[in-house]
Structure 1
Amino acid sequence: MSIVESRIILCTGGARSGKSEFAERLVLSLPGQKGYVATGQIFDDEMEDRVRKHKARRGNIWHNFEIPYDITASWSKILDSCDVILIDCLTIYATNAMLKKEPQNQAECNELADSLVAEFKELID
């Protein structure tokens, strides 16, 4: 029986500060099949350019998953095909949830925040 070490590393920084490139280099330094969960959606030319550059930089090394909502629905498939997983980016993922649900008051914002926390806990477990 092998023992699998499980780690979660959170890379933080300002917008366009190089977080994605840093996280990609970190993942590439680890053994195993790489998985890339891209949460961004293309709404304008700038985002289209960013996504194009990210894809070109990654090349064919990664199993790519484009998941703007409900990562948990695909999580078992991702875990089955990948040893190391990069989710890029949780801020954009949370923004996607806000744009989709459009909370109208504090109670709805709290409900959305609670659902995101529950989803992240499920991923971690």
Structure 2
Amino acid sequence: MIIFVTGGVKSGKSRYAHNLAKNLSDNPVYVATAKIWDDEFKERVQRHQSDRGPEWENFEETHAVSSLPIDNKTVVVDCLTLWLTNFFIDHKQNIDSCLTQFKFEIDQLMEKAGTFILVSNEIGMGVHAETAIGRRFTDLQGLANQYVAQKAQKVILMVSGIPLTVKE
């Protein structure tokens, strides 16, 4: 089962996903997809880590999330935006090859037993990106989110800390 949690920056996505996972499992799994780019981002990651207690099993995986030992578990993958960033850099901003690899990973997750709570950002709801690379990434994110939302059994849009059910 895939539960897709999306929304803007600081909309409460991660907190909602964590609480949902803890309600579904006594031993949830957290998969971090980010690379640490700078000191400010390192602090953000550390804050996220401190929010999780010892009941969490933690993995860091920047690409092959589906290869992790996460069958039959409740898993939070946080976040798709940072996961896509890794593909975007590796594939030299080629949207088609990024989407191919990303869709493969999502399809592989769908073949596993368990509950997968995928957290993403709606980055295309604001002002258009100023640069061509920014616009390409926004397009990639939008297409990836559409794919996951189509495959998901449930879609939640977070707005100002409030979960809105988009798909049940």
Which category of TM-score, normalised to the shorter sequence, fits these structures?
0.7 to 0.9
More strand by share: 2
Structure 1 residue 33: deviation in Å?
2.3
SS at match of 1:10: strand
Preserved CA contact (<8 Å) 1:41 1:47? no
- For these two proteins, the number of residue pairs brought into alignment is 111
Deviation per CA, 1:28-69, whole angstroms, max 9, x where unpaired?
111342110011111112210110001101021100001111
* Residue aligning to 2:13: 19
What SS class does the counterpart of residue 55 from structure 1 fall into? helix
Candidates 74, 78, 84, aligned match of 1:84: 74
Alignment partner for residue 36 of structure 2, among 15, 37, 42?
42
Paired AA for residue 31 in structure 2: V
1:66-97 Cα shifts (integer Å, max 9, x gaps): 111111222xx222xx6211111111101111
Higher relative contact order (CA 8 A, sep 6+): 2
SS of the residue corresponding to residue 30 of structure 2 reads: strand
Q: What code does the residue aligned with 2:57 have?
A: H
- What is the SS of the residue equivalent to 2:59? strand
Paired letter, 1:65: F
Q: TM-score, normalised by structure 2?
A: 0.61
TM-score by length of 1: 0.81
Runs of 4+ in 1 over 3 A off after TM superposition: none
Equivalent residues of 2:29, 2:58 under 8 A apart: yes
- What's 1:99 paired with? 89
How big is the alpha-carbon RMSD for the aligned residues of Structure 1 and Structure 2? 1.5
Gaps of 5+ in 2: 112-168
Structure that is richer in helix per residue: 1
Alpha-carbon distance in 2 for matches of 1:113, 1:34: 28
CA distance in 2, matches of 1:35, 1:117: 21
For 2:25 and 2:99, the matched residues in 1 are separated by: 34
- SS of 1:86's equivalent in the other structure is strand
Q: Could you tell me the percent identity over the aligned residues?
A: 34
Unaligned runs of 5+ in 1: 1-6
